[in-house]
Amino acid sequence: MRAASLFVTCLVDLLRPEIGEATVRVLERQGVHVDFPEEQTCCGQAHFNAGYRAEAKALAEHFHNVFEGAEAIVAPSGSCVAMVKRHYPELLGERAASLAARCWELTGYLRHVVGVEDVGARLEGSAAYHGSCHLQRELGTGADPRAMLAHVRGLTVTEPADADQCCGFGGTFSMTMADVSTAMADAKLERVKATGAGILVGADAACLLHLEGRLRRQGCATCVMHIAQVLDHADRP
Amino acid sequence: MPIAHEPAAPWAERVTIALSDIRLRENIARSTTRFAAQRLTALGELPDPAALRARGRAIRADAIARLPELHAELRQRIESRGGHVHLAADPAAVTGKVIEIARAHGARRIVKSKSMVSEEVALNPALAEAGIESLETDLGEYLIQLAGEMPAHIIAPALHKSRAESAELLGAPADTPAEALTALARERLRERFLQADIGITGGNFLVADTGGVVIVTNEGNDRMCTSLPRVHIAIVGVEKIIAHAADLPDMLKLLTRSATGQRISVYVSLIDGPRGPGETDGPEEFHLILLDNGRLRLRGTPHEEALYCIRCGACLNVCPVYRQIGGHAYGSVYPGPIGAVISPLLDPAGAYAMLPKASSLCGACWEACPVGIHLHDQLVALRQEGVRSAPWPQRLLFAGWATAWGSATTYTAFLRVGRVAQRLLPRHGEWLRAAPAILGGWTSTRDLPPIAARTFRERWAERRP
């Protein structure tokens, strides 16, 4: 039996646990044995990107110790996976190479390891897909979430104009440069709203929390879903 | 002062000014979107743009690695044809040399083709102070000279101006068509080209093996500057060199397609010295001023690849931050991602230390860069070098955060405290409307999700007892 260790990410753990639960169900439905190493905390990307390299290295060490023996590490986030794959080798040296090779973004794992694009999901409606930057550019796996979404029954997926433009989250940038970050969110949301889609879907919880936070502040009721929740969705008996 | 300008106001103020200027933001959005789309189309026509990009990077990397040797070759060739080559350490050395040349010729009037390096050294103000009139002849530069502004973009200095604003600057009715505005500027500039004693240009590339300066323009004003006046001075950054003229076609392809989406610019001039014996045109005297200004010391450091830049401006056009705030908010003559990298590198003590933070690290700049500079990684590296001088509360916050999250036990304690503390915060439905400290930046414009009543790990523990 195929086994995967879930790296749930700190944001999903603390703020959006239902995304983690959906991730587990989607994987288990594909016959993957999922375990959750309970010592895990955070990949350290926020520290690394804010300039706190030593602090990021300490968290990378912790991550390495927790996941060292995992057959595969799966996370519902392109950005955290990009941190492990692109920057851990720089922080931890040689021993990070094997860790990086075993680390997968959820849809990439489903598509390339499990070998499935249709997970039997059904969701009636139309969705605008927000392609997150690190998944698209740093992992270069933008095709994975799109391929998975294309098989969701009942769902029409559209891409907003300027789809490759960042939503403005950017880690601590969203707080330290809140006005620029928000201007970017507004530009993105204007394009999303122009699609007329009732659902905003993405593969990174961080972008979605930022965009949903802005939508809520504007009093908009657009439904925001993580791709794990979409793939978990079905009219199951 | 390595970059001879000071930002007019603090960062936060500059950003507020830019974000509240709706017309400015519309102008920037229109131009950057158009440039970015044209770039994709033009690169898409090539059989293998990725291979070309890799070749461009290799050409630049080789040149930077062999810089002293290539400079010697360039100098030797230009001098052998009677040209003069000067290495200027800083802005004062450039302006001093230009004024010296002007005085030697009794020159009173200078015409200029577009040059970012001349902006970096604040050449026009220095010339004005010396009583020498200097006129910008690139249309965009002419407009911002009339407006008394800095360029807002590396290749399109007046991209933040609408047609109506441009008309106003030229003293024409707001609804004057673009063609008529161009004709008007052309007519005014033509007279001045004929009167000028000296022509000043920048240079897009220096070619070592033929010993020349390559100038790329769309208006042909560079040709007037290099052929009508008696003296031509080219001012170019030391890093702009490439080893072989044979590599020029690839570099030009990358430059013009990335910059404006053109297969080739309207004019490409290769200047290799003054008028030779028996030649009928060209200046009597040719000077090449190479500006260091902090560039040479970047060789051999982790920031060396910043010297690969060919100043195409593609990273500005795709940058979501630049698209929102435009060029002037950066406060440097070099805005956008490349500006946020090189401004603090060239001028470490200047007012640019916070520019590396002005990025969401989305990587669009890296993706667009024709020579593959890892611009967002450079920004992170600059942030990492900058934390040593970060304020202590911030250092404490990150150190404490990393320590608390160093084990699941302390992480869990941290979240329990957070869950109790957040009860004190005002709500907007389920979500938080306000939060303290760094989180206040978030809640200033967005609702913040609270820590869940039961986190994932708590739910997992219940599921698998």
ipTM of the complex: 0.97
What pLDDT does residue B6 have? 80
d(CA A119, CA A133): 25
Residue B217 near residue B249, CB atoms below 8 Å: no
Q: Which CATH class is domain A3-113?
A: alpha beta
What pLDDT does residue A237 have? 44
What pLDDT does residue B60 have? 98
Residue B117 near residue B5, CB atoms below 8 Å: no
H helix intervals, A51-114: 53-67, 78-82, 88-92, 96-101, 106-109
The pair of structure tokens assigned to B185 is 């500027």
User: Which among B324, B429, B438 has the least Cβ separation from residue A183?
Assistant: B324
**pLDDT tens digits along B367-425:** 999 999 999 999 999 999 999 889 999 999 999 999 999 999 999 999 999 999 999 99
Which residue type is seen at B79?
Answer: E
Ranges of each domain in chain B: 50-297, 392-463
Run of H or E including A126: strand A122-130
What pLDDT does residue B208 have? 98
Q: Which CATH superfamily is domain B50-297 in?
A: NagB/RpiA/CoA transferase-like (3.40.50.10420)
- Going from the C-alpha of B197 to that of each of B104, B134, B190, the distances in angstroms are 11, 10, 14
Biggest distance spanned by C-alpha atoms of chain B:
95
Residue pairs between chains A and B whose CB atoms are closer than 8 Å: 189
Ranges of each domain in chain A: 3-113, 117-232
For the residues A114-122, what does the mean pLDDT come to?
97
d(CA B114, CA B119): 9
Cβ neighbours of B368 in A, within 8 Å: none
Contact state of A40 with B408 under an 8 Å Cβ cutoff: yes
**Burial level of B263, CB count in 10 A (0-12/13-18/19+)?**
exposed
Say which DSSP state B42 is in.
H
A88 part of contact set with chain B, CB < 8 Å: no
Cβ neighbours of B398 in A, within 8 Å: 47, 50, 52, 55
Reply yes or no on whether the pLDDT at A87 is more than 70.
yes
Instruction: Give the fold, CATH level 3, of A117-232.
Output: Rossmann fold (3.40.50)
Strand partners, B267: B217
**pLDDT tens digits along A34-60:** 999 999 999 999 999 999 999 999 999
Stretches where chain B sits below pLDDT 50 are: none
Say which DSSP state A41 is in.
-
What pLDDT does residue B5 have? 81
d(CA B454, CA A221): 24
This prediction's pTM? 0.96
A45 part of contact set with chain B, CB < 8 Å: no
- Spell out the residues 6+ positions from residue B382 whose beta carbon is closer than 8 angstroms to its own: B303, B341, B344, B345, B356
Which residue's entry shows tokens 């079905």?
Answer: A234
Run of H or E including A26: helix A17-29
The pair of structure tokens assigned to B278 is 């028996």
Residue to test with chain A: of B22, B25, B359, B360, most A Cβ within 10 A: B360
Phi, psi of A153 (to 5 degrees): -65, 140
User: Which among A13, A55, A175 has the least Cβ separation from residue B441?
Assistant: A175
Closest CA to B293 of B342, B330, B257: B342
Examine domains A3-113 and A117-232 and report if their fold is the same. yes
B17: left (phi over 0), alpha (psi -120 to 50) or beta: alpha
> Sorting pLDDT into bands at 50, 70 and 90, what band is A221?
confident
Contact state of A168 with B320 under an 8 Å Cβ cutoff: yes
Separation of CA B177 from chain center = 30
- CB count within 10 Å of CB A89 equals 15
**pLDDT tens digits along A149-177:** 999 999 999 999 999 999 999 999 999 99
The pair of structure tokens assigned to B122 is 């604040």
What pLDDT does residue A235 have? 66
Indicate the average pLDDT of chain A: 96
Give the minimum alpha-carbon distance from A172 to chain B in angstroms, rounded to a whole number. 8
Cβ neighbours of B380 in A, within 8 Å: 48-49, 51
The pair of structure tokens assigned to B146 is 């009339």
